[in-house]
């Protein structure tokens, strides 16, 4: 097992472009997020395991079971692992907890439905770009710091918007991992504003902002998060796929 810079130029070609949760992986390759990679050969790697700072761990295309088993053990000495499973991956060692997930992508950016959703923005509310001052008040502040490495890193490479009722935050919507070409998005609605469609409205505007920047939105959630999946379907994501994350605790 050889430690390797996650931005090593040869690593990108080892991974399937459509691996589940791919925005977080490509954000590492682009230098937006940090990560740790281990390879079989430093000069000409053919196999790789890559873990992002937020613990998401990816196996390269065609990885052998022997390398996967040894690589996972190597990484577990440094912390927990959330292994993103792709079709065709070899069987990983026992000792994991399965976390079923859903991913959504491939929406019609010119959809009239998205336009209709945006037009439902209440007159008394405004959209505000998230800056450090606003981020400090957000419910997902700590999640952004964890996922992106720091709040400063989120603001440097990601972006977000809030739907505001004067100075009260109604919805937080984030593009937290900007990969290529997908950007992972998510949103949370504050109490007592839930169940009024405000998250869909805010994310519809976030998708528009992403398209201007050259990205396509990508949405993922736990299988049992029915409210989150409902928003994704309402926004018109046409590809919906189930995948799994296998959670391994760190070796103590």
pLDDT in tens, the chain (252 residues): 899 999 899 999 999 988 999 999 999 999 999 999 999 999 999 999 999 999 999 999 999 999 999 999 999 999 999 999 988 889 999 999 999 999 999 998 888 999 999 999 999 999 999 999 999 999 999 999 999 999 999 999 999 999 999 999 999 999 999 998 999 999 999 999 999 999 999 999 999 999 999 999 999 999 999 999 999 999 999 999 999 999 999 987
Is the domain of 28 the same as that of 121?
A: no
Neighbours of 74 (CB within 10 A): 16
Q: For residue 244, tell me if it sits in a domain.
A: no
168 & 127 share domain: yes
Q: Considering the domain boundaries, does residue 129 fall inside one?
A: yes
172 in a structural domain: yes
Is 124 in the same domain as 75?
no
Q: How high is the pLDDT of residue 141?
A: 97
217 and 154 belong to one structural domain:
yes
In a shared domain, residues 65 and 120? no
Last residue of a domain, one of 69, 101, 133: 101
- Domain boundary, last residue among 101, 122, 155: 101
78 and 139 fall within a common domain? no
245 in a structural domain: no
- Pair (97, 111) in one structural domain: no
Query: Domain for residue 219, yes or no?
Result: yes
- Is there a single domain that holds both residue 36 and residue 12? yes
Cα gap 245→24, rounded to integer Å = 14
61 part of a folded domain: yes
Final residue belonging to a domain, choices 85, 101, 117 = 101
Q: Is residue 199 part of a domain?
A: yes
Rounded Cα distance, 97 and 247, in Å: 5
**The pLDDT value given to residue 17:** 87
User: Is the same domain home to 222 and 165?
Assistant: yes
- Residue 249 in domain: no
Same domain? For 78 and 38 the reply is yes
Phi-psi region of 197 (alpha: psi -120 to 50; beta: other; left: phi over 0): left
Residue 111 belongs to domain spanning: 107-236
Count: domains in the chain: 2
Look at the chain and count its residues.
252
State residue 252's pLDDT score. 75
As a three-state string, the secondary structure of the chain is: CEEEECCCCCCHHHCCCCCCCHHHHHHHHCCCCCEEEEECCCCCCCCEEEEECCCEEEECCCCCHHHHHHHHHHHHCCCCEEEECCCCCCCCCCCCEEEEEEEEECCCCCCHHHHHHHCCCCCCCEEEECCHHHHCCCCCHHHHHHHHCCHHHHHHHCEEEEEEECCEEEEEEEEEEECCCEEEEEEEECCCCCCCCHHHHHHHHHHHHHHHCCCEEEEEEECCCHHHHHHHHHCCCCEEEEEEEEEECCCC
CATH number at residue 126: 3.40.630.30
Task: Answer yes or no: do 121 and 231 share one domain.
Answer: yes
Residues 38, 136: one domain?
no
pLDDT at 4: 93
* Cβ atoms 184, 23 nearer than 8 A: yes
Enter the pTM of the model. 0.93
């Amino acid at each position: 097992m050889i430690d390797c810079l996650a931005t090593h130029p040869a690593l990108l070609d080892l991974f399937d472009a459509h691996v589940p949760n791919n925005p977080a992986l490509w954000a590492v390759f682009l230098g937006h997020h940090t990560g740790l990679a281990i390879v079989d050969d430093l000069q000409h790697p053919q196999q790789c395991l890559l873990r992002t700072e937020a613990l998401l761990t990816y196996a390269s295309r065609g990885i052998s079971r022997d390398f996967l088993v040894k690589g996972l053990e190597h990484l577990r000495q440094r912390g927990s692992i959330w292994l993103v499973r792709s079709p065709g991956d070899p069987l990983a060692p026992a000792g994991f907890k399965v976390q079923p997930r859903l991913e959504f992508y491939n929406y019609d950016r010119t959809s009239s439905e998205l336009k209709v959703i945006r037009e439902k923005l209440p007159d008394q509310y405004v959209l505000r770009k998230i800056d450090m001052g606003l981020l400090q008040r957000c419910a997902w502040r700590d999640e952004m710091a964890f996922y992106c490495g720091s709040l400063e890193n989120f603001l440097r490479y990601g972006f977000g918007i809030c739907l505001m009722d004067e100075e009260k935050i109604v919805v937080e919507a984030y593009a937290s991992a900007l990969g290529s070409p997908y950007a992972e998005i998510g949103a949370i609605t504050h109490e007592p504003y839930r169940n009024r469609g405000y998250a869909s409205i805010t994310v519809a505007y976030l998708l528009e902002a992403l398209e201007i920047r050259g990205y396509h939105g990508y949405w993922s959630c736990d299988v049992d998060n029915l409210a989150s999946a409902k928003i994704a379907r309402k926004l018109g994501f046409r590809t919906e796929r189930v995948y799994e994350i296998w959670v391994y605790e760190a070796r103590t």
